[in-house]
Amino acid sequence: MKLADKVLIVVYASIFVLAYIASNIVFEMTTDNFGVHDKLILYIVALLPTGYFSFKYIGPAKAQTYFATFFGGALLWVTVLYIVNKTELLYYAAQQQPVTTTLNISKVSKHYVKNSFEGSKIYVDYDNQHLELLSSRTNYFAFQNKTSFKADIGKAGNGNYYVSKIYWQPGQLQAARGAYWHYWVYSVRYVPLFMLGILIVVLIVLYLKKNTDALTPKPAAPHQFWKIMLVVMGIVFTLFLLAYAALAAYLYFKYGHIG
């Protein structure tokens, strides 16, 4: 791959990362309103770079080229939507003062991506509209039993809204974080058992390998590579198990229960 193409990829990835970091620092909640027309235009825009890379590095008149163009364009399109949305919100947030008001909550739900709990949706009535505000997983637990909350809210040019500050009640955010971590520890409770089983298998394999190596000549490089991979995997699993055990112990001693 040519240097210019590598630079193009790095620049785009950097823009995405900056938009992600900046929006998470500035905003508590945001809307994500795009019309069908806007989405279609942005998908066409996403097809341009994927088509360029596909035709250049796979070659024309190949099925893989068209698959990579349209499928890769769909994946890139998701990131383009994110960048455009967050950039617009950040621009308007820098240009105007938000309004401090009390937002009435009509509904709170979990936001799932492929059956994975990725965030929350806070439905509020504001500006004669029914807004769907995308927020964090912690905020689901903070507002699931609430009817309203005080916040700074602003409007962007494309009909999007953002909440830049939430006026938390004493202890509300800490309680929500505790509730989220209780939920997380309980929801992944089988993962440590699975990892522990894998770790035991890894230790057995390494033990048998050590005894075998003592009776045989020095193993070839590929065997050495897999041995290193097993050690690395064992270290990662051990660290996860220790972190999980520490978090579970903290929740138990602080709140009296884990799940």
- Per-residue pLDDT reduced to its tens digit, 68-112: 888 999 999 999 999 999 999 999 999 999 999 999 999 999 988
Mean pLDDT, residues 132-138: 94
Is residue 114's pLDDT more than 90?
no
232 inside domain: yes
Q: How confident is the model at residue 215 (pLDDT cuts 50, 70, 90)?
A: low
Residues 120 and 81 in one domain: no
The answer for 246, left when phi > 0, alpha when psi is -120 to 50, beta otherwise, is alpha
| In a domain? residue 241 | yes
> Of the candidates 95, 115, 144, which is a domain's last residue?
95
Domain match, 14 and 49 both = yes
Average pLDDT, the chain: 87
**Distance between alpha carbon 119 and the CA centroid of its chain, in Å?**
9
Indicate the Cα dihedral angle 191, 197, 198, 201, nearest 10°. Answer: 180
73 within some domain: yes
Among 158, 174, 177, which residue's Cα sits nearest to residue 81? 158
The CA-atom distances, in angstroms, between 92 and each of 27, 29, 34, 95, 184 are 12, 15, 17, 5, 35
Q: Evaluate whether 143 touches 167 at the Cβ level (below 8 Å).
A: no
Q: Are residues 89 and 110 in the same domain?
A: no
Q: Which position has the higher pLDDT, 255 or 44?
A: 44
Does 142 score more than 70 pLDDT?
Answer: yes
pLDDT band of 219, cuts 50, 70, 90: low
Quick check: is 182 in a domain? no
Q: Tens digit of pLDDT for each residue in 45-68?
A: 999 999 888 888 888 777 888 888
pLDDT at position 109 is 94
Mean pLDDT across 174-199: 87
Instruction: Give the up-direction half-sphere exposure of residue 131: CA atoms within 13 A in the CB hemisphere.
Output: 24
Is residue 73 located within the same domain as residue 122? no
CB neighbourhood size of 81 (10 A): 17
Both 91 and 107 in a single domain? Answer: no
Domain shared by 10 and 88, yes or no: yes
Residue 143 covered by a domain: yes
pLDDT score recorded for residue 112: 86
Domain containing residue 158: 99-170
Among 141, 170, 199, give the residue marking a domain's end. Answer: 170
Same domain for 199 and 152, yes or no, is no
Say if residues 105 and 123 touch (Cβ distance below 8 Å): yes
| Overall average pLDDT of the 26-31 stretch | 95
Three-state SS across 110-137? Answer: EEEECCEEEEEEEEEEECCEEEEEEECH
Question: Would 176 be classed as within a structural domain?
Answer: no
> In this structure, are residues 139 and 120 in contact, taking their beta carbons and an 8 Å threshold?
yes
pLDDT at position 194 is 86
In the chain, the N- to C-terminal Cα span, in Å, equals 50
What percent of the chain stands above pLDDT 90? 48
On whether both 246 and 218 belong to a single domain, the answer is yes
CB atoms closer than 10 angstroms to residue 49: 18
> Once rounded to an integer, what is the mean pLDDT over residues 219-225?
59
Identify the domain boundary among 95, 120, 145.
95
**Alpha-carbon distance 185 to 173, whole Å?**
18
pLDDT of residue 113: 78
Q: Identify whether 183 is part of a domain.
A: no
Nearest to 28 by CA among 163, 200, 191: 163
Residues 222 and 160 in one domain: no
> Do 109 and 86 fall into the same domain?
no
Query: Considering its fold, how many domains does the chain have in total?
Result: 3
pLDDT surpassing 60 at residue 41: yes
179 located within any domain: no
